[in-house]
A and B are shown apart, each in its own frame.
Chain A
Amino acid sequence: MSLRYRAISWNPQKRRYDAVMAASSGLYLALFVGVSAFTNPNATIETLLIRAFGTAALLLLHVILLIGPLCRLQPRFLPLLYNRRHLGVTTFVMGLAHGGFALFQFHALGDTNPLVSLLISNRRFDSLANFPFQPLGFIALVILFLMAATSHDFWLKQLSPVMWKRLHMLVYAAYALLIAHVALGVLQAETNPLLAGVLAAGMIVVLTVHLLAAQREHAMDKQPFETGFVAVCALGEIPEKRARVISLNGERIAVFKHDGKLSALSNVCQHQNGPLGEGRIVDGCVTCPWHGYQYLPETGVSPPPFKERVATYRVKLIDGVVYVNPEPVGQDGILSYTPSV
């Protein structure tokens, strides 16, 4: 959390994350170019770079798309989510390098503007085998640019988390466009089954993991509409300083147990809609597992000087059973109880 906007609020974890990412990307590019130059000595350096940057961008995009649903399914992946926006920016840079070299190699030597040439040189929209695949990659790159340019808390604040999230959901359109770009482009010429197999495997993994996570969320949302206090769980089912997440009337509510008290807050962090109920109480504050935004469990308000606030809900404890009223309240969503020994 920070009161002032900075380009990047560096901390040791982010530095470590970025160092691993930069080293892995550099190693991948070097290995790809080195091995390809050895196995395909006739290829020019431009061709090798186009392929190296293109495959790196596609690989990174797969990793990015897997992080979100994996975290929903298995919290041990949460550290990968912490600095995902830097992965996104790196993907855009790799894609830009791929597009830049391709534009130079295939469109820059004629008498037409390279970008115009890219968009109009192939108009075989009626043929799948000869489909103009390059504009598909260009549109995907424009989407990745929009996402990279708005990958900052400044834009998150200006656009509102919901609008920002909607904008960033365009990544799924970019992914579909890139699959089409590769399948209708390089896979038409390169018949090595390994290439098609790797792309198919990546696509199957991404689709399966997202569908599994979506199905899990959907099952949780399918609850009947409730009024008044609703029994949600036994007190013993909530671990100390952690929460149990419930779904009432379409809203996710996190019921926290801490120091002999129970408090219920909206499960949606005000920063990037992270799942507060999967975080824990740190220094007396509910702490979002995604980026560490904090809220006082008693009021749902961030500790001063911060001003973020999440809704709170009334809680009851009867015979060891926790009840929550799905109607949000102001600041009195806390209940004290005597912890059993």
Chain B
Amino acid sequence: MIQRLRKTHRLIFIALAVLLPLLFIAALAVRKPMPVNQPFPPQLLRTK
């Protein structure tokens, strides 16, 4: 009766075991360095 559910579960996890690590590695591979704020030019900090 639940053999089909067991088979579905097995197939799902075979697919996830392939797809999730691929997605994870791809997501890490496309990471871009976060932009860093440059120090404020000192001349702009001068006040009159």
Contacts and interface: CB of A to CB of B under 8 A. Distances in A.
Interface in A173-197: 175-176, 179-180, 183-184, 187-189, 191, 196
A184 B27 contact: yes
B45 interface: no
Nearest to A196: B28
Contact of A183 (B2, B7, B8, B28): B28
A69 to B, nearest CB: 9
A14 interface: no
A294 B19 CA distance: 41
A162 B2 contact: yes
Interface residues of B, number: 27
Contact of B12 (A165, A169, A191): A169
Contact of B5 (A166, A172, A180, A187): A166
Nearest to B28: A196
Where chain B touches its partner, the secondary structure class is: helix
Given A169-B12, A179-B20, A180-B23, A266 B34 contact: no
A203 B33 CA distance: 25
Interface of A: 128-129, 162, 165-166, 169, 172, 175-176, 179-180, 183-184, 187-189, 191, 196, 199-200, 203, 207, 210-211, 214-215, 217-218, 221, 250-251, 266, 268, 273
Interface in B13-48: 13-14, 16-17, 19-21, 23-24, 26-28, 30-34
Pairs of residues from A and B, 9 with the lowest C-beta to C-beta distance, nearest first: A183-B27, A214-B10, A129-B30, A210-B13, A250-B3, A128-B30, A207-B17, A217-B6, A172-B12
16 contacts: A129-B30, A162-B1, A165-B2, A169-B9, A176-B19, A176-B20, A187-B27, A187-B28, A188-B30, A188-B31, A196-B28, A203-B21, A207-B17, A268-B1, A268-B2, A273-B5
Contacts of A165: 2, 5
